[in-house]
Amino acid sequence: MAGSTSLGTWMSDRFGVVLRTTSSPVGLTIEDLVGVAARRNPRRAHLLVSTVLGKHIPVDPEVVTAVGRLLGEMVRAAMGFPGQKSEWAEPARAAIREGRPGALLEMLDRELDARAQTPVLVIGFAETATGLGHLVADQLRAACYLHSTRRPVAGVEIAGRFEEGHSHATSHLLLPVPNTLLDGADLLVLVDDELSTGRTAMGTIEQAHARRPRGRYVVASLIDLRDADDEAEMRSLAERLACRIDVVSLVRGSVDLPDDLTATVAAEMAGLDAEPTGPVGPGASAGGLAGPKVSATVALVEIDWPVDLPDGGRHGFLDADRLRFDRATGRAGEILTEAVVRALEGSASRKVTVVGTEELMYLPLRLAQQLSRHRHLEVSFQSTSRSPVLAVDDAGYPVRRHFRFADSEGDPDVPRFLYNVHALHTDDRPSDLVVLVTDSAADSAVLHGPSGPVAALRSAGLDVLLAIIGPVDPGALATARTVRRVRPPRGLPEPLVGPGFGSYAADEVRWLLTDLSDLDLEGEVADREAAIQAGTAHYAESLPVEFQPDQNYQDLFDVVLADSAERLATAVGLVTELVLAERGQDIVLASLARAGTPIGILMHRWALFRHDLTVPHYALSIVRGRGIDPVALRYIAAHHDSSKVVFVDGWTGKGAIAKELTSALAAVRRDYGLDFNDDLAVLADPGHCVRTFGTRDDFLIASACLNSTVSGLVSRTVLNDAYLAPGQFHGAKFYSELASGDVSNVLLDRVAAAFPAVVDRVSMELPTLATCDREPTFAGWRAIEAIAAEYGIESVNFVKPGVGETTRVLLRRVPWRILVKQEGNPDHEHLRLLAQQRGVPVEVRPDLPYSCVGLIRRMSTSEPGES
């Protein structure tokens, strides 16, 4: 805590309680992390009050986050990953002693950015460590986080229960949804704020081991106070269970306690006439009360939350939940920030304390973080408690004020507490606003009534903004997880075929995809674009809403197809003949879904038409930035010679997918020992990105004009851990409801019908094509970089060259403008129609190396070319 004196001096001077530091892997002392208070508890009369956890003492939310994630990094080192313990000391001390967490958070972010999901289950202990455990899980990127709870939930099966010996509220429940989440990881990490004897952790390990034996457990805490006997007891448990138990902490130490402490503290507390309540500050009365405001205010903000998304770890929080949680928290934070700014209108200062309620710590912490980034707000974070602690208005004591109120979740006769509500040893100014964050389960008459927390705060002169979030429905969560987390198949999954999946015939393509047709994956184009550009989402994690053409556009497609059928047939014939000549007649086609799939079928048809060859054809997924589907490649390699596989796509633009394919296949070779040829065959290669093509003309391929209705009624492919389990193919949807507008087979049949008419042309052009210089130069990439620079576009990903890619910009993205090489080009008639419908300007640029280029709008207040 920045600038603080020791918060153990009052207990040391009065009762002889002394804190001692033994060691720390990050250069801290026990006084950096805790103070000592007295409490009403016959089991243990003292309480170590964390100065970094955000429970009893308000703390900068960035400091809370940094310390919790630092503990997670120490756990990672204990798990056997390369550690950097010597590097953490200086930034850790700066965060805790000086209130400057920036450097520590930057280091932790760098570690996390390169981290894949860790197959570990993390359990945090209620109530104090529910947020701490979540932060540890965040830094590990744990597969699952779960915290214990003292709140029974109707309809949710209790998967485990255990007792905590010294706590004020001793019973803990485990309520994962589904309860099999407890069984999923080989490594279990238990997190608490302090480890006094270790018996709570040991009891939990015994129960977990009886349910699902593991070879290793890690117990993590901010401070470890165990003595030699406690350590021996844990070693004995490990030997008995035939497992390994590691203990990780930021500080090891001890607490000297007089033998008669419990009786002495009880007598002291009984002799108190009253404890200080309410805010303290300049002008406070002798009893510690500041003069209350004449009329403290109460405001309410209700924040919706997805019913099938956890708001913390009570029912389990999966790594697959993180993206949706981040988005939902971002939206909630925006709503809360607006409400806070309104509530503070007219206030001279902007000091805000965000208060979580008991176990609900992580979500309020995240909201406090978001509020703290508002430049005019001074934000701290803490939460309510079940534990009764003696409040003493002394600079050497950690609990200066207390508020007592009824439990709004369950028994209104059971008291709850909130302490301090102002940062200690700074300026002692009370908060201008207390933001009390609770979930809908606590939204009761007690919460709003005269005995509840709102009234207690208001009576002390504090303005209150009550934020109610929710509800989360465990039933909806169970249903969602049952749908999303499909059990991985034994061995390799089987392909999908029409008509059960897609409108193409089963003998023309086998889809190496997982059917996600029952899921709602579509998002509005503008919302998706904003998330993709902001880096909070990847384009393959969701789907755009499918563009449905009006009659004018459909009529135009019919005209385009009729006019270009022979040109398409010629390119199909040329690329197929080139492949057969250079790769042999025992090839296997692997089209990149979905643009490559109709081309793959046409190549399959040409081989049958011209050579009486039945060439196997599969469709599989490749995702820019994520690679090709390794499960699909393993399936193909299990049934065919991998060296005979020919990858097929529709066309090239900049060459991003060609580069992705080369990189992805190198990774597959390294990881699985499978050797595939990265020579990509395309119908049109205007970007000079591949060596196997039918033409390098930038012309209109009719299949680019539409979405699923010209691609077998199959969506773009989806790669999202929220919906796909390990061992499954990438996913896609079958839009059977669009069958009335499906022209997928119309395109195939019309182009194939032109095969006889172009046989001679293909035979005549093939020798020239085969012997010309076909080496890729990626000349188009350099041109795109120049266009990006000219228009002030920061990423070439916003520049889409060629007819096919420009069409996609108008169909699926948020277009800014269209550049064309020639005005009135008949291949661009559909582009002009789409641009007119969407209000997108078209510029003529005779110097373009492509016939056209689409520019994507940057989703901000300025255009791509503006600063």
Domains and CATH numbers, the chain: 298-474 (3.40.50), 510-516+549-770 (3.40.50), 779-856 (3.30.1330.30)
Tally the C-alpha atoms within 13 A of residue 601's C-alpha that lie toward its C-beta. Answer: 28
Estimate to the nearest angstrom the gap between the alpha carbon of 174 and the chain centroid: 24
pLDDT, residue 810, reads 87
d(CA 571, CA 770): 13
Query: b vs e for 41-80, b when ≥16 Cβ sit within 10 Å of the residue's Cβ?
Result: beebbbbbbbbbbbbbbbbbbbbbbbbbbbbbbbbbbbbe
Q: Could you tell me which residues come within 8 angstroms of residue 185 by beta carbon, excluding any fewer than 6 positions away?
A: 119, 120, 121, 142, 143, 144
- At 631, list the tokens: 């499960």
Low-confidence ranges of the chain (pLDDT < 70): 1-5, 81-86, 114-117, 164-170, 271-295, 412, 423-430, 482-490, 524-531, 533-537, 547, 859-867
- At 60, list the tokens: 């900068």
pLDDT, residue 336, reads 96
CA 690, 706, 599: angle at the middle one, nearest 5? 40
Measured in degrees and rounded to the nearest 5, phi and psi for residue 715 equal: -75, 175
Most distant pair of Cα atoms in the chain: their distance: 108
State how far the alpha carbon of 576 is from the alpha carbons of 15, 571, 587, 618, 681, in Å: 89, 8, 11, 16, 9
State how far the alpha carbon of 627 is from the alpha carbons of 115, 451, 541, 593, 722, in Å: 17, 58, 14, 13, 18
Burial of 92 (0-12, 13-18, 19+ CB in 10 A): buried
- At 297, list the tokens: 């205010």
pLDDT, residue 63, reads 97
pLDDT, residue 865, reads 38
DSSP class of 315:
T
DSSP class of 686:
T
Q: Which residues on adjacent β-strands are paired with residue 853?
A: 801, 819
pLDDT, residue 536, reads 62
Q: Which residues on adjacent β-strands are paired with residue 436?
A: 355, 466
CA 354, 356, 362: angle at the middle one, nearest 5? 105
CA 59, 62, 66: angle at the middle one, nearest 5? 105
Bridge-based pairing state of the strands 510-511 and 317-318: unpaired
Amino acid (1-letter code) at residue 630: P
State how far the alpha carbon of 786 is from the alpha carbons of 374, 704, 782, in Å: 38, 25, 6
Q: Could you tell me which residues come within 8 angstroms of residue 804 by beta carbon, excluding any fewer than 6 positions away?
A: 595, 650, 651, 653, 684, 700, 701, 704
State how far the alpha carbon of 346 is from the alpha carbons of 289, 350, 454, 855, in Å: 24, 10, 22, 45
Give the residue from 107, 96, 34 showing the smallest Cα distance to 63. 96
Is the Cβ–Cβ distance between 825 and 544 less than 8 Å?
no
Tally the C-alpha atoms within 13 A of residue 497's C-alpha that lie toward its C-beta. Answer: 10
Give the residue from 619, 589, 592, 593 showing the smallest Cα distance to 603. 589
d(CA 703, CA 707): 8
pLDDT, residue 2, reads 45
Burial of 429 (0-12, 13-18, 19+ CB in 10 A): middle
Is the Cβ–Cβ distance between 710 and 650 less than 8 Å?
no
Q: Which residues on adjacent β-strands are paired with residue 707?
A: none
- At 452, list the tokens: 């509840």
Measured in degrees and rounded to the nearest 5, phi and psi for residue 682 equal: -130, 160
- At 417, list the tokens: 């507490």
pLDDT, residue 305, reads 94
pLDDT, residue 863, reads 43
d(CA 371, CA 655): 42
